[in-house]
Amino acid sequence: MSRRSYDRPLGNLEETLSTRERAVTISQVAALAGVSTGTASKALNGRGALRPETRLRVQQAAEQLGFVANAAARSLQTGRTYTVGMITTDSIGRFSIPLLIGAEDALGAGQMSVFLCDARDDPIREQYYLRTLLSRNVDGIVVTGRRTQARAPIGVGLPVPVVYAFISSADPRDCSVVPDEADGARRAIQHLLAIGRRRIAHVTGPEHHHSATVRAAGAAQTLAAEGLRPAAPTLYGEWSEAWGRQAAGILLSTGADVDAVFCGSDQIARGMAEALRDAGKQIPRDVALVGFDNWDVMVEGSRPSLTSIDMDLEGIGRTAAEVLLAAINGDPVQGQRARPCRLVPRASTAV
């Protein structure tokens, strides 16, 4: 092999190594974005009180240049790991996955990663994950679950900020971001009233369940504000289609004069729709239906498709992450933050 042919690949290798060594710097990002290096650093690290357009401009400049932050250098400079832990008891992911998506949307702006830990409703496993996350020096922790009922704090005197999402902490000094379920019930009843229904019944989950009682109270209060009473006593049962079918049978057997049913969950509403249809009732002509949760599998699989209340789980996750970031940056907040729900109309209430 000639000397010339041997040198060619070596030259290419040296060129490649040289190119890698000339990685894009944060100074170059700052210059392209038209800001100072300090401002660029804050924008990329999710710190500081910057205008949203400034933060976006810096992020776009970093993306355009292919800037990759050196995680080790960032940690040494700031004393942070740019990681957040999320501990959940929702093993099937019905609530935790949308919450995680929302949280990652907010944390991604600061180039932070999320460790998801499934405690499976096991206190021992939950404490194990808490110790593990703390040993990894996470910057903060989000605690969530599949129930909105308040729970005992995951720990006392922890070295990092903790925010509860969807689920709430029994300690008023903790920060909790939750759905306003009473607001959701109010929207459901107001929608039924708006389409001309006045004989409205409510069917929901277990009477001891926090969500069931809050939604039932919200429905009753909204009817009372309009000078109306429920068309039948509230029926409490299970969060299931089977209970929806059974509840429909109860309403039909008692001869209750009902022209609409607000169900405490989409599962109940889907079972209710099936039983009413089998009994010869047309939905929504004879009976209009509204569910709760806006669970796509249920609302789209029902016949007809279900009008439902959406708790905006991704929005709750984003808000929780934003509050956590503020606490990490030295601006913690306390107390509960309730986010409004929204109604998603479909065929089950179509006029």
Please report which confidence band the pLDDT of residue 86 belongs to, taking 50, 70 and 90 as the band edges. Answer: very high
**Helix crossing, 52-65 with 26-33: angle to 10°?**
120
Q: What is the mean pLDDT of the chain?
A: 88
Cβ(195)–Cβ(160) under 8 Å? Answer: no
pLDDT category of residue 170 using cuts at 50, 70 and 90: very high
Residue 310 has pLDDT above 70, yes or no: yes
| pTM for the predicted model, two decimal places | 0.77
59 versus 244: the higher-pLDDT residue is 244
For residues 235 and 203, the answer to whether their CB atoms sit within 8 Å is yes
Tell which wins on pLDDT, 87 or 71.
87
> Long-range contacts of range 1-7, CB-CB < 8 Å, 24 or more positions apart?
none
Beta strands in the chain (DSSP E): 83-88, 113-118, 140-144, 150-151, 162-165, 168-169, 175-179, 200-204, 235-236, 260-263, 288-292, 307-310, 335-339, 342-344
Beta-bridge partner residues of 116: 86
- For the cut 50, the answer to whether the pLDDT of residue 221 exceeds it is yes
- Whether the per-residue pLDDT at 292 is higher than 90: the answer is yes
pLDDT of residue 43: 81
Q: Is the dihedral of CA 322, 328, 333, 336 positive or negative?
A: positive
Mean pLDDT, range 225-241, rounded to an integer: 96
Q: Are 39 and 50 in contact (CB under 8 A)?
A: yes
CB 85 within 8 A of CB 117: yes
Please measure the distance between the N-terminal and C-terminal CA atoms of the chain and give it in whole angstroms.
84
Q: What is the pLDDT of residue 248?
A: 97
Asked, as a colleague might, if the bond just before 284 is cis with ω within 30 of 0, I would say yes
Lowest mean pLDDT among 19-23, 43-47, 123-127, 318-322: 19-23
